Every structure is written in structure tokens, then in C-alpha cells.
């Protein structure tokens, strides 16, 4: 029997990334409040928020300074827009701060309300840029299988996950996908990480040549894949890929929506993994998830092309009502101030070895094939056979069951495609809380193993 609040939820809300049919009987986990790395349900039960919400609540819950920054801005200028040359202090100051933080030369910053909007904007700008340069055929965008870049029509076309395409009539024409760089799952027998990376780069080059380099505008990649499985790229991958992109004048878009603002122990994931993009997208942790905000960096060549188009057309015909919302910008400024003052990014680098040690030890568990990460993000893959890497039938929902057991143990995680489980806690997590997180996850894995045995589940096929 669902509680009154849960029943009201079922009758009124449409939940993203949810089995809507199963939700009608299972109902929601209704959260009431949060403090630090913990959230509490309506019965008062605490949970370690092992996913930082949705990869975003970097400073944890109920940070008073962020609430005060939002309240103060609402009392001063609760809304204004940036259309037709209008502006306001928070947007100006935040753009200045972000230009100083960017790991790449940045001329301007364009604000959005989400990572999906940011990547949608990247697609439009890639098209706009090549039109300005008189290259109307150079429009195709290459993303990667299992990459995640959002859910608007364009950004979902970039996303390389079946659930985002099936029965949505996506991807749109002109959106291509290269191979997923997951060494554990897709490398050939005996193939080293570097050899695998070289092979993937060669396959990318073959794709560009097959499509015609004069038609390929950009390549987009997350430094570490998020929703595709919390996947760390193999050694030498981005080095090899960037050489190919440079050879054919293909712009590199770094999707820093998850990795930006400290997650890997550097301000941006590109710095940790030797990526030199032309532009990057950001969102999520720029406000610690407290207020929706995203954006893109604009390099000088792109800006010059935009100027030329404005002279020709009389305007830059792109923008949304909430681009550069003053409350969101004020919260972002305070968030970055806290990152700097509390040395949050340096703290991630210091805590990462312990986090990764606890994560890697999970690979010893009899149902775990891979457990790998970087910084304060990681993923593990449940397998039916550790030697062959055989998996369970997807319909068995093994990873989903493990996440449910974790929730019963007081830990919120997320299951992903391919029986993957992601771990991505708030950046403020303490060492003792890291241990508590992995202790609870270990118990959930033990319960999953016992459930598999009780159900008599076997490897697929």
C-alpha cells in the first residue's frame, strides 16, 4: 500500500528515466531534507547520497551560504535577461570568473539553464560557424556510443544510448557515433589499453574519411563517460583521437557537464586527461546543483564568425529566457568562491586515492568484473562470469536489484546500461563517509550475490 504522498505522486508526476509501469506499484522514494552528504526520507531514514543527486551536488546539502546568496539576489534583482544587449552584475562577474578558470583560451561565455541546452547550443554553433566560413557542407557531428550529452532533440541525437533513441525517431540525420572506449568490455583479447586507443582512433579516422572530412564539423566527448557507465578512457585515447581531429579540421567539444568543477581533482576533467578542446560545455556543479545553470565557452575564432553573422543578419538569433539568470549566476559565484576558499578541488585530489582504493577492492567481489574510476567518480560492472566477462540477461535487472539493496542499506546509487553501477558522491565527503559508502555498497553486493543464487540466474545466452 502506497502512502498518501506516494499515491499522489503516482497520479500526478511523470518521472524521467523511470519504468513508468513499474512505478505505479512501487511508488517513489520521497525525500524530505538533506544535510551534508546525507538525504532523509519522509520517515526520517538517512541515506548517503552516493550520486551527488545527479552528479551535481558537489557541496552537499543545505549549504547556508548558497541559500543566502540566492535569497539576497532575489531581493535585489530576481530576474533579468541578456536579450537585446541588456545585462546585470552577476552574469558579467560570473563570465569573468569562468574565463579565468577555463583550461582553454576563451573569448566569451554563453549561459544556458542545463547541460542539455549547452550541448544543443554547441550543435547550433558548429553549424553556424561553418556557415559563416562558407562551408555549408561541414555539418556532421560525431559523438560516441554510450556517450551522454542530454535529451533535447539535438543533444539526444548526440547521446549514444539506446533508451534515448528507441521510439523517439532519433538520432537525427547528420549525427554519427564512433565506438565506445571501454577497454574492459570491448578490447580484443590481449590488446593493451594504448593499442586499443590507437585502434579506436584509426576507426574514427576511417569514419571521417568515409563520410568525407568536408562534411564533418565536430566531435564531442565527455572526459569520463557518465550515464554510459562511469567509464574512464583507456591510456592514450584522447591523445590519439585529438591527432585525428586536428588532421581533418574537426572541432573538439568537451562535455564537462559532469567532470567540470573538481570531480576529477582538477577544475575541469580536460586538465586531468590531457584534453585540448576548442570549446567546452558545463553545468551541474557550477552551482552545486542548487539552481539550474549551464553554458558553453566560446573561443575567439568562433566569436569572430559570430560577429560576421551579426553584421550580415542583424542579430545573433539564439538564446533562452533564463540564459544568465541573475539568481543562478549569483549562486554560481558563491559556489566557486567556496570551492576556492575551502580548497575543494585540492581536497578531491587528496581524497581520491582512498576513494579509488576502496572502489578497486570491489573488483575482488565474485559478481564484479570491473571496478574503476578517477577522482571522486567510479563505476563497477556486475558479471555472471569473471573470466569470460559474460553478463546476465538485461531483463534480469541485476544492477537495478543491487541498487535497490543499496537503498535498503542507506545508500543511493544509480544503475546504468550493461549492469553498470555508478558512484559519484558530493565532493565534500569525508574519509569516514567514503568508508561508510563502500561498506554499504559491499553489503548490497553480497545481498545481490545471494539473490542471484536464490533465483538461479545464469549467464546470458
Q: DSSP H helical segments within 102-161, as ranges?
A: 115-132, 153-158
Contact between 262 and 55 under an 8 Å Cβ cutoff? The reply is: no
Range(s) of the domain holding residue 427 = 4-62+343-455
Q: What is the CA radius of gyration of the chain?
A: 22
Q: For residue 155, which of 113, 124, 128 has the smallest C-alpha distance?
A: 124
Is 382 a member of any domain? yes
HSE-up of 178 (CA within 13 Å, CB side)? 29
HSE-up of 453 (CA within 13 Å, CB side)? 8
Over its length of 461 residues, how does the chain's per-residue pLDDT go in tens digits? Answer: 788 999 999 999 999 999 999 999 999 999 999 999 999 999 999 999 999 999 999 999 999 999 999 999 999 999 999 999 999 999 999 999 999 999 999 999 999 999 999 999 999 999 999 999 999 999 999 999 999 999 999 999 999 999 999 999 999 999 999 999 999 999 999 999 999 999 999 999 999 999 999 999 999 999 999 999 999 999 999 999 999 999 999 999 999 999 999 999 999 999 999 999 999 999 999 999 999 999 999 999 999 999 999 999 999 999 999 999 999 999 999 999 999 999 999 999 999 999 999 999 999 999 999 999 999 999 999 999 999 999 999 999 999 999 999 999 999 999 999 999 999 999 999 999 999 999 999 999 999 999 999 999 999 97
Residue linked to cell 554547441: 122
pTM exceeding 0.85: yes
Is 461 a member of any domain? no
Residue 30 and residue 70 share a domain: no
Is 211 exposed, middle or buried (CB count within 10 Å of its CB: 0-12, 13-18, 19+)? middle
Contact between 268 and 225 under an 8 Å Cβ cutoff? The reply is: no
Residue 225 and residue 190 share a domain: yes
Is 353 a member of any domain? yes
Q: How many helices (H) and strands (E) does the chain have?
A: 16, 15
326-341 vs 89-101: helix crossing angle, rounded to 10: 40
Residue 186 and residue 320 share a domain: yes
User: Of the residues 341, 364, 383, which one is the last residue of a structural domain?
Assistant: 341
Strands 140-144 and 175-178: parallel
Residue 208 and residue 106 share a domain: yes
Domain count, the chain: 2
Quote the DSSP letter at residue 33.
Answer: E
User: Of the residues 308, 341, 374, which one is the last residue of a structural domain?
Assistant: 341
Residue linked to cell 591523445: 239
Residue 210 and residue 200 share a domain: yes
Residue 324 and residue 182 share a domain: yes
User: Of the residues 293, 325, 341, which one is the last residue of a structural domain?
Assistant: 341
Q: For residue 279, which of 106, 101, 135, 129 has the smallest C-alpha distance?
A: 106
Residue 407 belongs to domain with CATH number: 3.90.1150.10
Quote the DSSP letter at residue 261.
Answer: T
Residue 406 and residue 289 share a domain: no
pLDDT of residue 256: 98
Is 259 a member of any domain? yes
Residue 135 belongs to domain with CATH number: 3.40.640.10
Distance CA 114, CA 95 (A): 16
pLDDT in tens, 333-386: 999 999 999 999 999 999 999 999 999 999 999 999 999 999 999 999 999 999
For 78, 117, 304, 329, the CA distances from 323, given in Å and listed in that order, are 14, 10, 21, 10
Label residue 199 left, alpha or beta by phi (over 0 means left) and psi (-120 to 50 means alpha): alpha
Quote the DSSP letter at residue 61.
Answer: B
The phi, psi pair for 119, rounded to 5°, reads: -75, -30
Q: What is the largest distance, in Å, between two alpha-carbon atoms of the chain?
A: 70
HSE-up of 389 (CA within 13 Å, CB side)? 13
HSE-up of 71 (CA within 13 Å, CB side)? 6
Residue 183 and residue 203 share a domain: yes
Label residue 350 left, alpha or beta by phi (over 0 means left) and psi (-120 to 50 means alpha): alpha
Give the DSSP letter string of 216-245: EEEEEE-SSBSTTT-BPPPTTHHHHHHHHH
Strands 216-221 and 251-255: parallel
pLDDT of residue 461: 77
Amino acid at each position: 500500500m502506497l502512502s498518501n504522498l506516494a499515491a499522489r505522486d503516482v497520479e500526478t508526476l511523470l518521472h524521467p528515466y523511470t519504468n513508468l509501469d513499474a512505478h505505479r506499484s512501487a511508488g517513489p522514494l520521497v525525500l524530505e531534507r538533506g544535510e551534508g552528504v546525507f538525504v532523509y526520507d519522509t520517515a526520517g531514514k538517512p541515506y548517503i547520497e552516493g550520486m551527488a543527486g545527479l552528479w551535481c551536488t558537489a557541496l552537499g546539502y543545505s549549504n547556508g551560504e548558497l541559500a543566502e546568496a540566492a535569497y539576497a539576489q532575489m531581493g535585489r534583482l530576481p530576474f533579468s535577461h541578456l536579450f537585446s544587449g541588456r545585462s546585470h552584475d552577476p552574469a558579467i562577474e560570473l563570465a569573468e570568473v569562468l574565463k579565468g578558470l577555463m583550461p582553454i583560451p576563451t573569448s566569451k561565455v554563453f549561459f544556458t539553464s542545463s547541460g542539455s541546452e549547452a550541448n544543443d547550443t554547441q550543435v547550433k554553433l558548429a553549424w553556424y560557424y561553418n556557415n559563416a566560413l562558407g562551408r555549408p557542407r561541414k555539418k556532421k557531428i560525431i559523438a560516441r556510443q554510450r556517450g551522454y550529452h542530454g535529451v533535447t532533440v539535438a543533444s539526444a541525437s548526440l547521446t549514444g544510448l539506446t533508451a534515448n533513441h528507441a521510439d523517439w525517431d532519433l538520432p537525427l540525420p547528420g549525427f554519427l557515433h564512433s565506438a565506445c572506449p571501454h577497454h574492459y568490455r570491448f578490447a580484443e583479447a590481449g590488446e593493451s589499453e594504448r593499442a586499443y586507443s590507437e585502434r579506436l582512433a584509426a576507426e574514427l579516422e576511417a569514419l571521417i574519411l568515409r563520410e568525407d572530412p568536408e562534411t564533418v564539423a565536430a566531435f564531442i566527448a565527455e572526459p569520463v563517460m557518465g550515464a554510459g557507465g562511469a567509464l574512464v578512457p583507456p591510456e592514450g585515447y584522447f591523445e590519439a583521437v585529438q591527432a585525428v581531429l586536428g588532421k581533418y579540421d574537426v572541432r573538439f567539444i568537451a562535455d564537462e557537464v559532469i567532470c567540470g568543477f573538481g570531480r576529477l581533482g582538477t577544475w575541469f576533467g580536460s586538465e586531468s586527461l590531457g584534453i585540448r578542446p576548442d570549446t567546452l560545455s558545463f553545468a551541474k556543479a557550477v552551482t552545486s546543483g542548487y539552481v539550474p545553470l549551464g553554458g558553453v565557452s566560446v573561443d575567439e575564432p568562433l566569436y569572430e564568425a559570430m560577429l560576421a553573422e551579426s553584421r550580415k543578419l542583424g542579430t545573433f538569433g539564439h538564446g533562452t529566457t533564463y540564459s544568465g539568470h541573475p539568481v543562478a549566476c549569483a549562486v554560481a559565484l558563491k559556489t566557486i568562491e567556496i570551492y576556492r576558499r575551502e580548497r575543494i578541488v585540492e581536497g578531491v585530489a587528496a581524497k581520491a586515492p582512498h576513494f579509488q582504493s576502496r572502489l578497486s577492492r570491489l573488483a575482488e567481489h565474485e559478481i564484479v568484473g570491473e571496478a574503476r574510476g578517477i577522482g571522486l567518480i567510479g563505476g563497477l560492472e556486475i558479471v555472471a562470469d569473471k573470466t569470460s566477462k559474460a553478463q546476465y540477461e538485461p531483463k534480469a535487472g541485476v544492477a537495478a536489484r543491487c541498487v535497490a539493496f543499496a537503498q535498503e542499506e542507506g545508500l543511493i546509487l544509480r544503475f546504468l546500461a550493461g549492469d553498470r553501477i555508478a558512484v559519484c558522491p558530493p565532493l565534500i565527503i569525508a574519509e569516514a563517509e567514503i568508508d561508510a559508502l563502500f561498506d554499504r555498497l559491499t553489503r548490497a553486493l553480497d545481498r545481490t550475490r545471494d539473490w542471484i543464487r536464490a533465483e538461479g540466474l545464469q549467464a546470458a545466452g
